Chain A
Amino acid sequence: NAGVTQTPKFQVLKTGQSMTLQCAQDMNHEYMSWYRQDPGMGLRLIHYSVGAGITDQGEVPNGYNVSRSTTEDFPLRLLSAAPSQTSVYFCASRHTYAAFHGETQYFGPGTRLLVL
């Protein structure tokens, strides 16, 4: 198993540009999520999905869109990048039952995004 994979590893954007951060998992996890991590702060939830076709907002959803057309993939889209979106982005996945039984999430290696 590759686990949770993310591409690209690093990206530089200009203000106003759009891009999609890719996330894939091969563990057949129903639940997938996106977090951002800023210096000196814990991870904050952007969007999550409990299964194909179902997405919902997290703590900091503004400026980001997601879709979940397959169980494996959960891309994060920035429609018009802003300097405030400079951050490290992590994708994570787990089984849905873990919400009730306490199984941890598995995190990808992260995408470092710099918006100029």
Chain B
Amino acid sequence: GESVGLHLPTLSVQEGDNSIINCAYSNSASDYFIWYKQESGKGPQFIIDIRSNMDKRQGQRVTVLLNKTVKHLSLQIAATQPGDSAVYFCAEKVLGNEKLTFGTGTRLTIIP
């Protein structure tokens, strides 16, 4: 989920289990949302996106759910692997607008 200050929310999951990372977005006009994965020492990497005309979108082992009523976004990762350990960010924007607003991130740790 979201957080203010210096400490990222953390989530620890046993390898092979499913994980759910949550994000509350801020702008009710946002119509495009992205989840990024950032491994230590690297730049953010695209995972999956969703437009506001959808409630759910699936990729390989990942699913994004969008609830516009409560401005909530979630990322589900199935059958987690050690390589899934990273910080996950949600980002929102209005299509056509240059500004992409990032959430503060959640640190996911996979326990072997």
Contact = CB atoms under 8 A, between A and B. Distances in A.
Interface of A: 4, 31, 39-45, 48, 50, 56, 58-59, 90, 92, 99-102, 104-110
Nearest to A110: B43
B18 interface: no
A99 B98 contact: yes
A110 B100 contact: no
Interface of B: 3-8, 32, 34, 41-46, 49, 51, 89, 91, 95-105
Contacts of A48: 98
Given A99-B96, A102-B32, A42 B46 contact: no
Given A45-B100, A107-B44, A109-B41, 10 more contacts: A40-B3, A42-B103, A43-B44, A90-B43, A99-B98, A100-B95, A102-B95, A104-B34, A104-B46, A105-B100
